[in-house]
């Protein structure tokens, strides 16, 4: 079966009835990047950048970012690659941040915006690494809560691009907080793309810790979660921008059709399952996915 799936790598990711669905890879290392190329991902929907720094004693320097990022991006030369900025969340927090800070300011995007110099260093490093590796860069911001945060990020990114001497790349927002869903039309109007972080979003909407084993990828199909996802997709359509899913639900054979039916335009999955997800998309009837999603959403009202 593996051989058969591998043979399909040259085939387009369209449903049986011709609806295109983007298929990208999630990448955290050079090995992942190599696997994304082997499995013919059309691009990378998520490069996680915080992983090398989870035991850091201070903010990474530009050179430290470059040392980690360039080898990850190099195998991806020529491809569209979405690099996510540092996502230091409760479940991945280096000791120097875990120690002093507490509450919201100690986490996620508010933390990065409060540490503007460290954030600018990362933007500079990402721009330089992408140029060196020759990838088509997009930059993605995790844990966006409202449009003012995305605007603040764009300012820092544009300043970094001017300093490096390259054009500012497209900028997208991850939608993974219920607050972000509430104002998603405003965020979509300012973003070049949206990406659903279903791991965090599902946990937050259902009120379950994301480290709780009870929180499986399937829970993303729970009606209130799928309703939030459909609302995000509608905002994306309204603003004419893509809406990708980069959480684990994108790789779940039971949930992925519902995500496609709810209007998500691309799935970004770990390279290990990319062949399987391609086969799933190519075996799917889009009309059927639409009605399955509608049935879940109707159970919500």
Residues near Mg ion (CB under 5 A): 176, 197, 200
Considering the complex, what minimum distance in angstroms separates the CB of residue 268 from ligand PEP? 8
d(CA 46, CA 82): 5
Query: Among residues 7 and 91, whose Cβ is nearest to ligand PEP?
Result: 91
Which option in ligand PEP, Mg ion, none does residue 94 bind, with CB closer than 5 to 8 A by kind? none
**Could you say which of ligand PEP, Mg ion, none residue 65 binds, taking C-beta under 5 to 8 angstroms by partner kind?**
none
Q: Given its phi and psi angles, is residue 170 left (phi above 0), alpha (psi -120 to 50 degrees) or beta?
A: beta
Comparing CB distances to Mg ion, the nearer of 124 and 176 is: 176
Q: How far, rounded to the nearest angstrom, does the alpha carbon of residue 127 sit from its chain's CA centroid?
A: 18
Q: CB of residue 145 vs ligand PEP: minimum separation in angstroms?
A: 14
Q: Are 254 and 280 in contact (CB under 8 A)?
A: no
Residues 6 or more apart in contact with residue 98 via CB below 8 angstroms: none
DSSP per residue over 148-163, as a string? HHHHHHHHHHHHHHHH
Q: Minimum distance between the CB of residue 245 and ligand PEP, rounded to whole angstroms? A: 8
| Nearest residue to ligand PEP, scored by beta-carbon proximity | 247
Which of ligand PEP, Mg ion, none does residue 246 bind to, with CB < 5 to 8 Å depending on kind?
A: ligand PEP
CA angle (243, 245, 247) in 5-degree steps = 155
Q: Would you tell me which residues interact with ligand PEP (CB under 6 A)?
A: 46, 48, 87, 176, 197-200, 246-247
């Amino acid at each position: 079966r593996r051989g058969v799936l591998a043979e399909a790598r040259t085939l387009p990711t369209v449903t049986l009835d011709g609806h295109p669905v983007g298929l990208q890879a999630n990448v955290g290392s050079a090995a992942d990047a190599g696997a994304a190329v082997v499995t013919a991902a059309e691009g990378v929907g998520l490069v996680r950048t915080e992983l090398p720094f989870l035991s850091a004693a201070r903010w990474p320097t530009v050179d430290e970012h470059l040392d980690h990022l360039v080898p990850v991006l190099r195998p991806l030369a020529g491809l569209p690659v979405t690099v996510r900025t540092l996502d230091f969340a409760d479940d991945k927090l280096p000791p120097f941040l875990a120690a002093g800070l507490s509450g919201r300011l100690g986490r996620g995007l508010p933390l990065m915006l409060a540490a503007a110099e460290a954030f600018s260093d990362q933007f500079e490093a990402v721009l330089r690494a992408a140029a060196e590796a020759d990838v088509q860069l997009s930059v993605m911001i995790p844990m966006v809560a409202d449009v003012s945060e995305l605007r603040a990020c764009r300012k820092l990114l544009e300043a970094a691009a001017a300093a490096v001497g390259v054009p500012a790349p497209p900028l997208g927002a991850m939608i993974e907080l219920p607050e972000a869903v509430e104002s998603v039309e405003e965020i979509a109007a300012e973003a070049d793309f949206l990406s659903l972080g279903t791991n965090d979003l599902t946990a937050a909407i259902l009120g379950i810790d994301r480290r709780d084993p009870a929180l499986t990828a399937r829970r993303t199909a729970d009606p209130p979660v799928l309703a939030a996802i459909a609302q995000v997709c509608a905002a994306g359509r309204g603003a004419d921008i893509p809406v990708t899913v980069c959480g684990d639900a994108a790789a779940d054979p039971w949930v992925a059709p519902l995500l496609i039916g709810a209007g998500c335009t691309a799935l970004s999955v770990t390279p290990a399952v990319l062949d399987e997800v391609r086969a799933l998309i190519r075996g799917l009837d889009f009309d059927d996915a639409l009605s399955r999603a509608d049935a879940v959403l109707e159970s919500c009202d």
